[in-house]
Amino acid sequence: MNEIVNCVAYAQGKRVANVEMKEVHQHLTKENEFVWIGLREPSEEILNDVQKEFQLHELAVEDAHLAHQRPKVEQYADSIFVVLRTAQINEEHHIEFGETHFFAGKNFIVVVRHGSNVPYTEVRARCESTPELLQKGQGFVLYAVMDFIVDRYFPVVHEMELELENIEARIFKDKPNRETTERIYDLKRELLEIKPAVSPLVDVCNRLMRFNMGCISPETRPCFRDVYDHVVRINEMVDNTRELLNRAMEANFSLISIAQSDVSKKFAGWAAIIAVPTMIAGFYGMNFKFIPELSWHYGYYFVIVITISICVTMYFLFRRSGWL
């Protein structure tokens, strides 16, 4: 696997040259030029070389190597360190998370990718096709990649909304079952996983918009408002989906309780019907010598007819009330 995906120098919004890592320092001394490096799960050795070339803080480099960081933005002297979580739907329709780390300084930006299988070549091509925007420098590159990452949350959340619609349809059309409850819990778990990846981005965008960071030009700062708006929308979609999912779970439990209550009613109705002949047979099964109707010629038939009549009457009464 190629750890250094790209290492390119730009001047006035145009590609100047592909740069070797050992030659980066030559371009960092030029006034109107910046270097954009893309790394894919780099080794500790590569990150050490990057740290030496760009004078990065060792704690930020350690975070970039270990990954598994919370989305955040930290400022170290003249550079900033930004962490974002990426998300995409795999072939099994489950969410796969990754991480992207940014080191941005006066005339450089280093993009470190972990886990995500989606390359940023599309973003680089889009930036290079608009040199009037790319000439704003590394701050615009940071915005472009962040916007690309955040926009990829929309199909993920939309997929979760479709899954919620399927669950709701099964709850109200099919009989309550264990599989529906399992699907609800699976979706709730995915929502709990995606919320910590999206929610901190609001603070990240706010800091990039409002705080004075030397590596981000004043004309680039308003661009992060667009990312902020997208993040707010995604947060609202996640919150709405979670709220509807909670209500779907309550509805599912309510329908299960109703179904159990219906079963209990049926058992109670049949028990009451069966209790009638049991009670009558119990009376006539008592060992008393003088019981009325024992010597009556039609007594047996009379009791049978009365028993059947009572049972049939109770059956129709329970049926009318919805118990049977």
pLDDT in tens, 5-27: 788 999 988 988 888 877 887 78
d(CA 147, CA 212): 20
Which one of 86-100, 109-123, 147-161, 242-256 scores highest in mean pLDDT?
147-161
For residue 256, is pLDDT > 80? no
Q: With contact defined as beta carbons under 8 Å apart, do 187 and 163 qualify?
A: yes
Q: Domain span at residue 267?
A: 261-321
Q: Is 141 exposed, middle or buried (0-12, 13-18, 19+ CB in 10 A)?
A: buried
Residue 24 has a CB neighbour count (10 Å cut-off) of: 20
Question: Which tens digits make up the pLDDT trace of 118-148?
Answer: 888 899 999 999 999 998 889 999 999 999 9
Residues 45 and 115 in one domain: yes
Longest Cα pair distance anywhere in the chain, in angstroms?
124
Residues 191 and 207 in one domain: yes
Go through 294-319 and write b for each residue having 16 or more CB atoms within 10 A of its CB, e for each that does not: eeeeeeeeebeeebeeeeeebbeebe
Residues 222 and 104 in one domain: yes
Q: What angle do CA 128, 65, 23 make, to 5 degrees?
A: 50
Which residue, 200, 221, 255, sits at the end of a domain?
Answer: 255
Question: Which tens digits make up the pLDDT trace of 34-87?
Answer: 999 998 888 888 888 888 888 888 888 888 877 778 899 988 878 889 999 999
Residues 53 and 38 in one domain: yes
**What pLDDT shows up at residue 2?**
56
Number of domains in the chain: 2
Residues 185 and 286 in one domain: no
Residues 186 and 279 in one domain: no
Residues 119 and 249 in one domain: yes
Sheet holding 72-76, edge to edge: 14-18, 4-11, 33-40, 108-114, 95-105, 79-89, 72-76
Residue 61 has a CB neighbour count (10 Å cut-off) of: 21
Residues 182 and 162 in one domain: yes
Which residue, 198, 224, 255, sits at the end of a domain?
Answer: 255
Domain CATH number, residue 183: 3.30.460.20
Residues 286 and 203 in one domain: no
Question: Which tens digits make up the pLDDT trace of 217-250?
Answer: 888 888 899 999 999 999 999 999 989 888 888 8
Which residue, 255, 280, 310, sits at the end of a domain?
Answer: 255
